[in-house]
Amino acid sequence: MKVLLFGSDGQLGWELQRTCPDTIEMVTCDYPNVDFCSAHTIEKCINATLPDCIINAAAYTAVDKAEQETDLAYRINHDAVLEIAERCKKNNIFMVQISTDFVFNGRNFKPYKPYDTPSPESVYGKSKREGEKAVLDILNDKALLIRTAWLYSSHGNNFVKTMIHLMKERETLTVIDEQIGTPTWALGLAHAIWNSIEKKITGIFHWTDAGVASWYDFAMAIQEDGLAAGLLEKSIPILPVTAKQFPTLAKRPYYSVLDKTSFLQATGLKPLHWRVQLRSMLAELVR
């Protein structure tokens, strides 16, 4: 099977490349070889490859900046996705679209099931939801939509690596303790994507690591495991704060735990707890 990967330079794209099965012929495409603001370059890349499957891991993910760059966020998260989906329909290509917990408003206060009604409150979340609808409207049962949350990797920029850096530089940190979700190592998501492609699963599904945490819990774990791994030399005070004490341009969901039950039943996968995954990822930073 030939797979075209959009967003190959991102943290998920990087993990997909290093976990790619031997049975897959992968072709990668990212900026500047494809400009997601240009329908022509998207079409050119697809026509030059004519894959059996496209994984779209490309996205505009600067959540706060999206509030000021609305047109660009929608261009990448909706328009480009729509154009990819249209090319897939024309050429009978299966599509895997990666989405986010931000399509929910976070006021459900129980794990969100895949077919719960989305209600995004940020430009990022709204643009990603429009991308979801484009894929589902155009491709129907010729697509797989996977939502994930709190993604990190040893590659690229993310919360884990930012916290490690700040813990080395500062004497104290403040981290929000009232937003709840699930930290997710992109490596585990990559394995789940390959598994779902192999099993030819279609529809909407959720994937994260196991367990739940606040951002404060996550930061505390990063410090504890970072010390154990030798990435940090000393412990610093980490103080919990409310979202009102740490205002941001974009609204974030207070509770965005995703229910993975249907995906686990379809794939037979068993996600590891996020603390186990965090320790494994930190070990990569040591090497």
pLDDT, tens digit (0-9, with 9 covering 90-100), for 49-103:
999 999 999 999 999 999 999 999 999 999 999 999 999 999 999 999 999 999 9
Could you report the per-residue pLDDT of 227-252, keeping only the tens digit for each? Answer: 999 999 999 999 999 999 989 999 99
Helix/strand/coil for 122? coil
Is the predicted pLDDT of residue 31 greater than 90, yes or no?
A: no
Model pTM score: 0.96
Residue 82: per-residue pLDDT = 98
Phi/psi of residue 121, nearest 5 degrees: -120, -10
pLDDT at residue number 233: 96
Q: How confident is the model at residue 36 (pLDDT cuts 50, 70, 90)?
A: very high
Domains annotated on the chain, with CATH: 2-157+184-210+256-272 (3.40.50.720)
Confidence band for 141, pLDDT divided at 50, 70 and 90? confident
Quote the CA–CA distance of 147 and 236 in Å, as a whole number.
34
DSSP state of 243: G
What lies within 8 Å, CB to CB, of 140 at 6+ separation is none
Establish how many alpha carbons lie within 13 A of residue 166's alpha carbon, considering only the half-sphere containing its beta carbon.
Answer: 16
SS3 254: coil
How distant, in Å, are the alpha carbons of 28, 68, 120 from that of 80?
16, 19, 20
Residue 19 dihedral angles phi and psi, to the nearest 5°: -110, 5
Q: Cβ atoms within 10 A of the Cβ of 286, count?
A: 10
* Cα–Cα dist 164/82, whole Å: 37
Q: Work out the average pLDDT over 170-184.
A: 97
Residue whose structure tokens are 């409150």: 121
How far apart are the C-alpha atoms of 122 and 138, rounded to whole Å?
24
Whether 124 is catalytic: yes
pLDDT class of 41 with cuts at 50, 70, 90: very high
Whether the ω angle into residue 118 lies within 30 degrees of 0, i.e. cis, is no
Taking alpha carbons only, the member of 154, 164, 159 closest to residue 176 is 159
Write phi, then psi, for 180 (nearest 5 degrees).
Answer: -115, 135
Please give the pLDDT value at position 33.
Answer: 81
Given 124, 152, 216, 255, the catalytic residue: 124
Helix (H, G, I), strand (E, B) or coil at 113: coil
Give ∠ CA 112-115-118 in degrees, rounded to 5.
70
Contacts of 146 (CB under 8 A, 6+ apart): 96, 97, 98, 99, 189, 192, 193, 196, 205, 206, 207, 263
